[in-house]
Every structure is written in C-alpha cells, then in structure tokens.
Amino acid sequence: MPANLLSDSVPIRLIDLSGYDVFFAMILAFFLCVLLSKIYVFTSPLGATPVNLPRSMVLLGATVSLIMAVIGNSLARAFGAIGALSLIRFRTAVKDPRDLSFIFMSIGIGMACGSGYFKISIGATGLLCLFSLILARFPIVESGIKICLLKIQYPCSPENQDNILSKLRETSFKIQVLAQESLEQGKIMEMVVEIGVPTGQNMNDLFKKLAEISPDIKTNLLIG
C-alpha cells in the first residue's frame, strides 16, 4: 500500500496544546486523581492504607499530564524525558499489587489529560472508580484476613512486652503497635496493637495464649 494512501486512511492526532490547555490538563488530572485516591482509601481494608500513597497518586497524575504536554510530538523531547526520569531511583517497594494498580491508574489519567483527551480522561476515571467499587463490594477472591484492634494491659516489664509480641506474631500476619501508655504510676503498661489474623481465627484462643504469659494480662478486643 502506498505511503500516501496509508497516511490518508489513518488519521493521526497531533498533540499541540496551548498554555491554557496545559494548565487545564494539570488541574483536571489533579481533581480526577483526588477522586481516584478517595476511592482507593474507601475500598482499602481497615489499617491497610499507606499514609502518603493517596497524595502521591494525585501529584503523580498532575506531573505526568505536564510531562505529556511538554513532550507533545517531539521525539527528541521524549528521549530527553526518558533519560531524565531514568536518573530517579525509587527506594520504596510497593508491597501490595493493588497499590501498584492504582498508581498505574493515576499515570493513565495523567497521560490522557496531558494528551488533550479531556473527555476520555473524565469517562475513564469514572469507569475505574466504578470498577474499584464493584470489586470491593463483590471481591473475586476472599482475602481471608481480618484486621483487629487490641488493647492489652500488662505489668510493666520488658519481658512481658516481648513475650506478648512474640505470641501475637505466632498467630498474626501483621502486627503494628499503635500506642503505649503507662498507668498506675508506671506499674501497668497499656498497649494498643493492630493485628491481621485469618478470618476464621478464634480470638478467645489468642486471649488464652496471652493469659499464659501472666494472669495479670488483660486483653480487650476494640475492633474485629
């Protein structure tokens, strides 16, 4: 097929945004990624939301839209952007594939906005949010993990605390000490711990194991 016939039959969209369009694209990407981050937080399990990830998603989307607008149709600028971005080294590992998928969503929204596809970016954001809500309401695979919040009071002793945390690690997938407080003039320590346990875990069994350390240990289930 002749080259001129191919060029006539396949329309090519050229990215040529004005300054107004670039700023509008960044603002649109910002608000769309804010909506996406709200959906991310809403559909996240209790206590499993990284603090900085939602804000990073918003800034990432706006930044990618700017990069796409600056690159435009310039091959030289595209290679220059790749070279500049390759110098960045990310030291924080993304442990949850779900977090990675939302990061890619933010990048996709930013790319659509920066390329001038404003209506497509709005519609795609709505669909991605809808898909996330559907998957949260009707999960494909049950996670098998529930998040519990425990308040534990025990006689003040480093050995007691180490033994308590050791017992929790034996039955929990995740342990995070949220707060500690000294009571009764330093005789009693109170510790609030967030743990992730199997869905069918009998919490009474865990309480009995903690009581084996010392009969003075008191455990209350706050959330679970």
104 with 152, same domain: the answer is no
Position 122 in a domain:
yes
Q: How far apart are CA 193 and CA 188, in angstroms?
A: 16
Q: How far apart are CA 83 and CA 75, in angstroms?
A: 12
Domain final position from 109, 137, 165: 137
Strand order in the sheet with 174-183: 174-183, 188-198, 145-155, 218-223
Q: What φ, ψ does residue 81 adopt, rounded to 5°?
A: -65, -40
64 with 150, same domain: the answer is no
Each residue's pLDDT expressed in tens, for the chain with a length of 224 residues: 444 544 444 444 445 667 788 899 999 999 999 999 999 988 876 555 677 888 989 998 998 888 888 777 666 666 656 655 554 555 556 667 788 889 889 989 998 998 888 999 999 999 999 999 998 887 665 556 677 788 888 888 778 778 888 877 777 767 778 877 877 777 788 888 887 776 666 777 777 877 778 777 887 777 76
Q: How far apart are CA 9 and CA 167, in angstroms?
A: 69
Position 4 in a domain:
no
* CATH code at position 159: 3.30.70.240
159 with 205, same domain: the answer is yes
Q: What's the token pair of residue 176?
A: 């995070």
Amino acid identity of residue 23, one-letter, is F
Count the domains in the chain: 2
Give CA torsion, residues 131, 134, 136, 139, to 10 deg.
-110
Domain that holds residue 82: 14-137
**E strand map for the chain:** 145-155, 174-183, 188-198, 218-223
- Closest C-alpha among 60, 62, 76, 59 to residue 22: 62
Q: How far apart are CA 184 and CA 101, in angstroms?
A: 48
53 with 73, same domain: the answer is yes
159 with 182, same domain: the answer is yes
